[in-house]
Amino acid sequence: MPGKRKGYDAACYYAGKCLGHCTKSDSEAYVLLMKSCGGDAARVLKEYAYFSPELKGILEKAALMQADRNRTAGLFTEPVTSPWGEVQSCETLCPGVFLVSTASHGGTMVADEAAAILSPAAKKCGFKDKGYLCYEEDAQESVVLRELLDKKLWHIPERIKDREKFEETINQVHPPLQPGLLAGKTERAGTRKGGPQTVPCQRSCPVTWLRATMTRSAKEV
């Protein structure tokens, strides 16, 4: 694999991935052009005509990444209803995985088409409802968060000030899945016959307020 070419003293990144090495002036131009076009690489290529071969290649890679991300995200729409009632707020953790809140409760909903990202053990912790695999707040929700973190499909938001404590709480609420953990499923009180099945979990765990922090709007944080 060829190394960094002589004369290249900088690199350009998008979504944490290196798009290529270039000169410092190209790197600065990349930042300014992307900022002027709202972060839309395809728009930069369309509205500006002159680039070095290196910068053009970098912008083309960024445009392809953005197009792929938009296409994937467009496959899924945010749920408007949930097993816990009408959805009042919804946050997309990754394509097809939604953190939802209702007037009284909430949880994480994974679209059936996206459920393949979860391990078989994690799938067994959820319950099916209208095209989604659902994980209740204060119960199985941490299973999904843990798996998304491990697979680098989601990162703890910057608005969570103590990320280490947040991750520690997830681990305490639901330690790594073990075969025996799934054997003790019990039906949640108050659910309809044949309804959601949950894995016993501590109800008064700190995940409650941590999750509330995650679903606040930027204005409230």
The domain ranges of the chain are 10-73, 81-214
Does position 20 have pLDDT exceeding 80, yes or no?
yes
Read off the pTM: 0.54
- Angstrom CA distances, 99 to 3, 73, 108, 130, 149, stand at 42, 15, 4, 16, 14
Closest Cα to residue 125, out of 62, 74, 75, 196?
196
Interatomic CA distance for residues 77 and 125, integer angstroms:
23
Helix (H, G, I), strand (E, B) or coil at 107: strand
Q: Mind spelling out the 3-state secondary structure of 29-48?
A: HHHHHHHHCCCCHHHHHHHC
Of 4, 38, 36, 42, nearest in space to 23 by CA: 4
β-sheet bridge partners, residue 110: 97, 133
Number of DSSP helices (H) and strands (E) in the chain, helices first: 7, 11
HSE-CB at 159 with a 13 A cutoff on CA atoms is: 12
List pLDDT tens digits, range 161-209.
788 888 887 887 555 554 433 333 333 333 334 444 434 444 334 345 4
Q: Answer yes or no: is pLDDT of 48 > 70.
A: yes
Q: Half-sphere exposure (CA, 13 Å, Cβ side) for 210?
A: 24
pLDDT band at 58 (very low <50, low <70, confident <90, very high): very high
Contact between 113 and 76 under an 8 Å Cβ cutoff? The reply is yes
